[in-house]
Amino acid sequence: MKDNTEKKKKNAVSSGTGKSRASKKAYRRKKNAIIAAVTVIYLLIVAAAAVIIDDRHPEITLLGDADQLAEVGEPYVDPGAEAYLTGNLFGETTSNVEIQVENGVDTSRIGDYTVKYSATAFGKSAESYRVVHVRDTTPPVITLEHEKDYQASWLVGYKEEGFSAYDNYDGDLTDRVVRTETDDRVYYSVVDSSGNECAVERVIEYGISEPMIRLTGGEEIEVGASFTFTEPGYEATDESGNDLTSFVQVSGEVIPHQLGTYKLNYTIMNEQGETATAQRIIHVVAHPVEAVIPEEKTIYLTFDDGPSAYTARLLDTLARYDVKATFFVTNLDPDYQDMIGRAYREGHSIGVHSVSHNYAEIYQSKEAFYRDFLGMQEIIYEQTGSYTKIFRFPGGSSNTVSRNYRYGIMSELTKSMTDMGYAYFDWNVDSGDALGGAKSSYEVVNNVAAECSEHTVCVVLQHDSKGFSVDAVASIINWGRNHGYTFKALDETCYGAHHGLAN
Ligand SMILES: [Zn+2]
């Protein structure tokens, strides 16, 4: 406005001069044109100056926080930004300025991503950035499987029904599940690579109570003393009828040849250490055989230490006279083992004498004697198909030689063998064919006749390992029959002619 006032003043001054009308007009026109031009230039300069000072340019404002958190695997929605123009002189204008967005966010991968915003106007541009943190904050998921109607058993506990773990970012984490089992619960937990944890638990249901152990033959039994004890049997089942017999552990000891009361414990232990138990009491009792002494005059011919080369001849003689005798056999000459079988089949009695007939060996302990005794039983069984209940101690029950090897062994053995139902036989007529000095059949017959005359029931000791003793048998049979004796074979009920124990 000030400028316009000055122009009017100048115009007023010009109109006051007195030159010619035409030249005055031309001068005025020229002057006005100059003034107008100067004015326009002046205005343009002012306008340009205004524009420069204003410095109009775009600016960008981010919506929301500059840092954004995004969940991995889920779509990222950018809050966006606004752009506007602004300047020094006139401030913001509400013009819509187009924003270019460069969004590099990959939500499939954990990381920090930048979103770039830019805008351009009046040849000027603006840029702004934000950071998007793609993170995994979602814990994995553990899925438990359930078998239909499944119940844990008392015996084997809980059998895992199955589980799996899956994480939105790591994928299958089943192998990384930590599993802890207590009596009634299973705990499962897993942590993903970002530290997110999932924990679940399962309650175990037990369907079957502790098993029953049933003892065949009863919980308290009585068995006869014997070399061996055979457990009478047992079975174990649970409520559902499952056979658990094979899980039963039997503990305890029975010494079957020693009289007494023993206990056997039957136990099933489950994985929790709980037990189902049963107990059997076993009374090992003696079952001695009662001897019956015949009333009629009887001779029991007994032959020790065979079979030998002479045994066949003896059997022929006995067959000829139809006399049954008793053989207390050894394995001193194994070539003649088959004679044991022949004697048995021909009706004679077979008894154990000894495998080795070695005093030092068999009388060192009860166990050593039993070993030898049972060894001979096996040979007898091989030859005859049966075991025998009768035997004769090497040296007889009254021997003193056994003192050299174990004090009191004969007392122990006569007791335990009798308890076990075996009958041992000594003799009351010694033919003298071994140590008694007889060297001929004649002496043997005389010895037997002389001693036998003093007894109604005679148990005669001979040895079929001696040929001259075997050759005396026909005469002994004749003598016996002439004197009213009947010849018989021994069995476990017969008179044992026991000697007094000397060890
Ligand atoms: Zn002998």
Task: Specify whether 347 is located in the same domain as 457.
Answer: yes
Q: How far is CA 266 from the centre of its chain?
A: 19
Same domain, 70 and 39: no
Residue-level pLDDT at 287: 87
Is residue 210 a part of any domain in this protein? no
Beta carbons of 333 and 496 less than 8 angstroms apart = no
Domain end position, chosen among 54, 70, 88:
54
Can you tell me the distance from the alpha carbon of 205 to that of 211, in angstroms, rounded to the nearest whole number?
A: 17
User: What is the predicted pLDDT for the residue at 86?
Assistant: 85
- Per the CB < 8 A criterion, the answer to whether 138 and 71 are in contact is yes
| pLDDT value, residue 13 | 45
Residue ranges making up the domain that contains 323: 298-487
Question: Do 309 and 394 reside in the same domain of the chain?
Answer: yes
Alpha helix positions (H), 280-386: 311-321, 338-345, 359-362, 366-384
Nearest to 423 by CA among 264, 284, 290: 290
* CATH code at position 181: 2.60.40
The whole-number pLDDT of residue 94 equals 66
CATH of the domain at 325: 3.20.20.370
Q: What count of residues does the chain have?
A: 503
Residue 152's pLDDT is what?
A: 81
263 and 373 part of one domain: no
Mark whether 27 and 72 lie in a shared domain: no
- Between the CA of 357 and the centroid of ligand 1 the distance, in Å, is 7
Angstrom distance (rounded) from CA 276 to CA 229: 24
Residues lining ion ligand 1 (Cβ < 5 A) are 304-305, 394
Same domain, 368 and 429: yes
Ligand 1 centroid, distance to 306 Cα (angstroms): 9
Give me ligand 1 centre to Cα 325, in Å.
16
d(CA 317, CA 473): 8
What's the pLDDT at 2?
Answer: 42
Query: For residues 314 and 303, what is the distance between their CA atoms, to the nearest angstrom?
Result: 10
> 375 with 471, same domain?
yes
- My answer on whether 154 and 272 are in the same domain is no
Number of separate domains in the chain: 5
Say if residue 306 is in the same domain as residue 384. yes
Profile the chain (503 residues) by mean pLDDT over runs of 10 residues.
44 52 86 91 88 84 92 92 84 78 92 94 90 95 92 81 95 96 93 96 82 94 93 88 90 95 94 88 92 94 98 98 98 97 98 98 97 98 97 97 97 96 97 88 97 97 97 98 98 96 95
Q: By the 8 A CB rule, do 325 and 299 touch?
A: no
Q: Find the 364 Cα to ligand 1 centroid distance in Å.
A: 17
Q: How far is ligand 1, taken at its centre, from the CA of residue 483, in Å?
A: 28
Q: Identify the pLDDT of residue 206.
A: 80
pLDDT for the residue 5? 44
How far apart are the CA of 394 and the centre of ligand 1, in A? 5
Task: Tell me: do 459 and 311 sit in the same domain.
Answer: yes
In a domain, 101, yes or no: yes
pTM: 0.62
